[in-house]
Structure formats: C-alpha cells, structure tokens
Amino acid sequence: MVNKAILLGSALACWLVSAAQAIEMEDDLGARARLEKPPQRIVSLAPSNTELLFALGLGKRVVGVTEYCNYPEEAQSLEKVAGYNTMSLEKVVAVQPDLVLAARGNDLEGVESLRRLGTPVFALDIQSVGQLLKAIERLGRLTGAEEEAAKLKGQLGQRVRRVEKALEGVEERPRVMWGYWSDPVYTAGKSTMIDDVFALAGGDNVGRRAEGAWPQVSLETILAWAPQVIFTTYVPGGPDSLGGEMARLRAVDGWKNVPAVQQGRIYYVEGDWLTRPGPRLVQALEHIARHLHPAAFEGP
Amino acid sequence: MSFRSLGVMVPLLLGLLGVLSLLSLGAGPVDIPPAKVAALLAGRSGEEVEAVIVRDIRLPRLLLAILVGAALAQSGAAMQGFFQNPMADPYIVGVSSGAALGATLALTLSLDFWVYGISGVALSAFGGALLVTLLVYGLARRGGRLPVTLVLLTGVAMGALCSALTSFLMISSNPFDMQRILFWLMGSLASRRWEHVHMVWPQLVAGMVFLQVFARDLNLILQGEESARYLGVDVERVRRLLLVGASLLAAAAVAVSGIIGFVGLVVPHLMRLLVGPDHRKLFPASMLGGAILLVGADLMARVLVEPAELPIGAITSALGCPFFLFLLARRRQAVL
C-alpha cells in the first residue's frame, strides 16, 4: 500500500516536472500551441514578430523571416520563407522550425497547414500599446525567455508612463489625423493601433468620427474635421521633402484651409515604428507626443 | 488517323500533363534533386523534411491543380454549349460572384472555423456559389423550360448584385482582411492540403463523368432542337441537367481555389480548334487542357516570386491569352 503510494507520488512528481517543461498557451486567434521545451528554431511570419524576438534576445534562434523583416539589420541576412500575406509552405517546413510565430495578417490557410503538419504555431494579434506589453510577457513565457521579457516590458512600460506623466495636467487635446494628402484620404479610425497611440500621446484622433477601422474620407470631411496636426508615414520624394510638400499644400484649394496645413504642423513619423506592433511602437508614441505637446516635454 | 482524333490527342496531352506534373513535383522554392523526388514517390523513405514537402505539400497541390483545371475547362465547354455563346464560361450564372460573396463574408466576419480540416472560408464560398446557382435557376425557370436569354440575364444580374455586396463588405473591412479577400478573389492554390483534395475530388470526378454522359445529347441539341427531339432526346431535361451539372462543378472548384479566370473560357475554344466541336471529344480534351494550364500556372505561382506567391488567376491569363490570340490569328475562317 505504502509502496503504491510512493510509486504514485513519484509518478506524479515526474509528470509535474515534465509538465513544467512543456508549455501550452492559447494564441490570439484562439488556437492552442503546445511546446515540449523552449523553442530553438523559430520562424517569424511578420516584421513585428522578428523585432520582438530580437528584442527578447532570441535573434540567434530565428531561422526564417519574411521578405519585409528589415530590422534589426541581422534579420536581413536570415532565410526568407514568406512574403507579406503569402508564404512558401515548403520553405517554412524546410528550415525545420519548432515554433512558427504568426500574425493576424498571415495566410491563415497556410498557418493551418503548418499546424496539421505538426509544427507548433503561435499567432499574435496586437492592436494597442497595452496589448503589445502583454504580448511581450506571453512571448517570454512561451519561449522560455521570461527574464528578458520582464526586462523589456518594464523598460517599455516605463517609457509609456513617462509620456503619461508629462501629459498630466495637460487639458488640451489637439485634433490629430494620420494619413497622406491624397483624395480620398485613407485614415485610421477606431480600434486601430494608431488610434491607441494618438490617445496615449494626448491627441483627439479625428478618424474616430467615421465608421470603421480604416475609413476613406474626402477632402470636405477633412475640412469639417479640421485636424490641427497631421502625422504621415509617407511623403512623396522621401521625408526630407516634407517642407516642400507643405508649401505646395498651402496653395491647394481646400487643403490650404486645413488648420494643420496653415500652422505647418504636418509631421513625418517612421511607418515601421507606428504601424508595426513591435518594440519601436513606443518610439512612435514618444515622437508623436512630443510633437502634439511640445510644451509638456520642455524643461529640465 | 487524323491529328484531330482522340487516339492521337489524348496520349499527346496526357504525356504533356505527365511531364509537367513531374516537373511540378520536382521544382519549388526548396531544391530537391529529381532522383530524390523519384525515390520519395516510389515510396522509399528519404529525409523526413523532403518527404513532407513532396508528399504533403506539393502532391496535394498538384492534384488540386489537375482537378480544378479539368473541372473549370469542362464546365466552360458545357456552358458554351448550353448558351451557344462563345463568351460563356463556368462563372456565367453567377457561381464566382456567389462564391466571392460567401468567402468575403467568412473573411470579414473572421469565421476562422475548421470542419474536418476545411476552412470556413471554403465552405462559405461553396455555399454562396450553390445559393446563387439555385436562385438563378429558380428565377429563370418558366414552366419546365430554361430560356437561354433569361438564364444569362438573371445570372448577370445576380452576379452584379453579389459583387456589389462584396464591395460593401470589403470597404468596411480592415487591411488584413482586405488583403486576404483580394488574394482569394484572384485565385490561389497556396497552402492547400490533402483535406481540400478529399473535400472536392468526389464531387469533381462525379461532375465530370456526369457531363461526359450528356456529351452526345448536347451534340444533337446543338444540331437542332427539333431533330434532337425526333431522335429521342428530352431536350429540356438534358439542358437543365447540363446547366446544374456544370454550375456545381464550377462551385466545387471555386470553393478550394478561389476565382481562377480564363481556364474555363479559353481552354474549350483552344481545344475546339484542336479536336473539333464534337463534345464527346471536346470534354476530355478540355479537361486535359485545363489541367495542363493550371499545373503549369501553379508551378509559376510558386517559384516566380518565392518565397511569396503570385495569384494563379493572373498567370493563367498571362500564359494562355497570347497563345490563344496566336491560334485565332492563324485561322482563316471567321467562325469558331
């Protein structure tokens, strides 16, 4: 009887030890991923995932990336196994990954194929700064890089709090818009990451006044919205020609009446910072907050 | 034996399809030497990864290309016969627009469920295609008859309605879903699995055999409905069955491949130039021609911009149109 209990107990202990090794988590698309041990060969199917993995110190374990993974520089020399929303299933399989880190925008049919071929897949769907911080923690748990994840989350969280602190007591919420001065303008509305960043940076995102996440609006709508600041991730001829573009807009009917154009408050923000749900999103937040509230960030 | 006879054309086309298939299994973004591919196909074990690539990634995709290409081309040949119109294709009664609406609905509502390995998107596309076909059929029916013009116009109107709804859905979707919808609309066999093969092969094979059975009756009807009736053909019944059979065939193909244009429109014309207008020969020749075109196009879709993929619909048109225009230009008579 006692023997049996010991046997049972030791079996339980063994199971607990192995269970502590293995990790099972639900991903952002509702699928479960189970890893028997921390992954050693990771494929990233999104530039933001690549940036997150490198920031967690897992760069050496990344064995496959997308054609658009341009940051950090080391990522550029890695094996390219996917495009933006298409992937080469056989190239992913060929690098023999023990974890594929996917994203919402991926070819989900391909993601399912990978699962059925027995490759663990974990998909992220990050839509806000808060979700980014949570995702870092979960990613750390999944990959066995808890310490690095806690550190990165702490650093980024602190930078976000510093922005929030600077804006304490600032009542003004300038009307702000993301987009490029084409007609119609494709802008960011509710439930987008850009909207979240604008809110954290102390702005009133005019895109929220329209329906949908990515509304396309005409110039007359923009005149009605009267944005005081415009952030763009695209300037024809490159960011350096922004000054010339603004001078040109001041002479264009309609646009010359937009407050942001009149006051010369159109700013460039690196698209890779603002639109990728990676660690550099916080850089975009700081950049935008400083331009929206220059006075709040002055001082000692 | 003339060049046009099936005894010459079928082995010729089969040979071409065989060569292309081997090429397609051997070539891809990952280099696998031909000897290894042969060993793997012969059932001998090779390296695990290469076996997975050839057997579980390339082979199901090749089979789908063959099945979908054959189905679309034969469906197109039947539709052209039914409507007696060279512009007819498998999508003429709104199959593609219905499927597009179904797929778009599933993609924008994020219906990411899986039934026996088949995605909600494929099921929803199949449902949309079926629904539209049944609606067109029901609306255009007059007594026991299916007047050609009425079917055509009802199909065009239903198609336009579905496209409008699809546009509304797309404009209100987020960029991720928009990208996926666009890629689906352009047709692709990317990432398809054995589950997709299992889902459609029974329907496709049954549909193709079904149409083949009515090939002789269709010939007789095209020579004159009056004389066909004297020869004992139930003209209305045959036409009904042809329309439904060809639509279902297209619906099953579209569900797994998205909308692949050109194959169903031009391959039948191409084959008519090669084997003549007899549907008993035209159907099998079109099936082989469609399979050849799609296998070739899919190979290019996989390797041209690897590791990304091209939409196969764009390639079928780019490949086939110049060849078709060349054949048209060589013909002296004005009629097809």
Reported as a single tens digit per residue, the pLDDT across B212-259 is: 999 999 999 999 888 999 998 999 999 999 999 999 999 999 999 999
The pLDDT tens digits of the residues spanning B123-162 come to 999 999 999 999 999 999 988 788 989 999 999 999 999 9
Count other Cβ atoms within 10 Å, centred on residue A288.
Answer: 26
CB contact under 8 A, B190 and A212: no
* Side chain identity at residue B152, one-letter code: L
B240 Cβ contact partners less than 8 Å away, ≥ 6 residues apart: B146
Distance CA B92, CA A82 (A): 35
- Considering only the beta carbons, identify the residue of B49, B176, B179 that sits closest to A93: B49
Decide if B113 touches A, using CB distance below 8 A: no
B119 in contact with A, Cβ within 8 Å? yes
A93, B307: Cβ pair inside 8 Å? Answer: no
Pick from B210, B255, B224: nearest CA to B74: B210
- Indicate the residue type of A53: L
Structure tokens at B14: 């089969």
Nearest residue of A to residue B107, measured between CA atoms: A108
Structure token digits, residue A106 = 């991926």
Per the CB < 8 A criterion, the answer to whether B208 and B219 are in contact is no
| Phi, then psi, of A65 in degrees rounded to 5 | -135, 180
Which chain A residue has its CA at the smallest distance from B168's CA? A212
Residue among A90, A117, A216 whose CB faces B29 most closely = A90
Q: At how many degrees (to 10) do helices A129-143 and A47-55 cross?
A: 60
- Taking CA–CA distances from A212, the nearest residue in chain B reads B172
Neighbouring-strand partners of residue A43: A64, A100
DSSP states of A159-176: HHHHHHHHTTT-----EE
CB atoms A105 and B176 under 8 Å? yes
| Each residue's pLDDT expressed in tens, for chain A with a length of 300 residues | 556 666 566 655 555 545 557 899 999 988 899 999 999 999 999 999 999 999 999 999 999 999 999 999 999 999 999 987 889 999 999 999 999 999 988 888 899 899 999 999 999 999 999 999 999 999 999 999 999 999 999 999 999 999 999 999 899 999 999 999 887 898 999 989 999 999 999 999 999 999 888 888 999 999 999 999 999 999 988 899 999 999 999 999 999 999 999 999 999 999 999 999 999 999 999 999 999 999 999 865
Count of residues in chain B: 336
* A275's tokens: 């639109």
At B333, is the pLDDT very low, low, confident or very high (cuts 50, 70, 90)? low
Closest CA relative to residue B244, chosen from B13, B75, B113, B97? B75
A110/B175 CB distance under 8 A: no
Q: Tokens 């990771």 identify what position?
A: A42
| Residues in B touching A45 (Cβ below 8 Å) | none
Looking at residue B312, its amino acid is I
- ipTM exceeding the 0.85 mark: no
Using an 8 Å CB-CB cutoff, list chain B residues near A80: 307
Residues of B in contact with A66 (CB under 8 A): 307
Residues 185-204 of B with CB under 8 A from A: 188, 190-193, 195
Shortest distance, CA B69 to any CA of chain A (angstroms)? 21
β-strand pairing of B118-119 with B114-115: antiparallel
Ramachandran bin of A96, using left for φ above 0, alpha for ψ from -120 to 50, beta for the remaining angles: left
Query: In the prediction, which pLDDT does B152 show?
Result: 92
Distance CA A288, CA A188 (A): 15
* Spatial distance between the Cα atoms of B206 and B184, rounded to a whole number of angstroms: 26
pTM: 0.86
Instruction: Determine the distance in angstroms separating the CA of B211 from the nearest CA of chain A, rounded to an integer.
Output: 31
Residues 212-251 of B with CB under 8 A from A: none
Task: Report d(CA B91, CA B166) in Å as an integer.
Answer: 16
CA nearest B53 in A: which residue? A90
Strand order in the sheet with A121-124: A80-82, A62-66, A42-44, A99-103, A121-124
Q: Euclidean distance between the first and final Cα of chain B, in Å?
A: 23
Write out the two tokens for B273: 């130039």
Say if the Cβ atoms of A91 and B183 lie within 8 Å: no
Q: Would you state the pLDDT for residue A45?
A: 97
- From chain B, the residues in CB contact with A216 under 8 A are 171
pLDDT at B180: 84
Q: Look up residue A88 and give its two tokens.
A: 């080469």
Q: How far apart are the first and last CA of chain A?
A: 74
Sign of CA dihedral A149, A153, A154, A156: positive
Q: Closest-CA residue in chain A for B308?
A: A83
Tokens of A34: 């189970």
Which residue does chain B place closest to A91, by CA atoms? B30
- Chain A partners within 8 Å of B52 (Cβ): 93, 117
CB contacts of A110 in chain B (<8 Å) are: 190-191
Mention every residue, 6+ apart, whose C-beta is less than 8 A from residue B44. none
Half-sphere exposure of residue B103: CA atoms within 13 angstroms, side-chain side: 31
Q: Do B53 and A67 touch (CB under 8 A)?
A: no
Q: Which residue from B174, B183, B192 is facing A86, i.e. has the nearest CB?
A: B183
**Which residue is closest to A29 within chain B, CA to CA?**
B112
Task: Please give the residue of chain A at the shortest CA–CA distance from B116.
Answer: A116
Q: Do A214 and B174 touch (CB under 8 A)?
A: yes
What is the C-alpha separation between B217 and B257, in angstroms, rounded? 30
Residue B184's nearest CA partner among A183, A85, A288, A217 is A85
**Helices marked H in A204-241 — which ranges?**
219-225
In angstroms, rounded to a whole number, what is the distance separating the alpha carbons of residues A143 and A23? Answer: 9
Task: Indicate the SS3 state at residue A122.
Answer: strand
Would you call B302 an interface residue with chain A, using a CB distance cutoff of 8 Å? Answer: yes
Tokens, residue A268:
């460039």
Which residue's entry shows tokens 């020869």?
A: B231
- On whether the CB atoms of residues B30 and A90 are closer than 8 A, the answer is yes
Q: Between chains, do B30 and A94 touch, taking CB under 8 Å as contact?
A: yes
Confidence of residue B1 (pLDDT cuts 50, 70, 90): very low
**How many CB contacts within 8 angstroms connect chain A with chain B?**
99
B58 touches A: beta carbon within 8 Å = yes
Pairing of strands A185-186, A175-178: unpaired
Calculate how close chain B gets to A214, using CA atoms only, in Å. 6
* Residues in chain B closer than 8 A to A90 (CB atoms): 28-30, 53, 57-58
Per CB-CB distance under 8 Å, the chain B contacts of A214 are 174-175
Cross-chain CB nearest to B119 (options A105, A112, A214)? A112
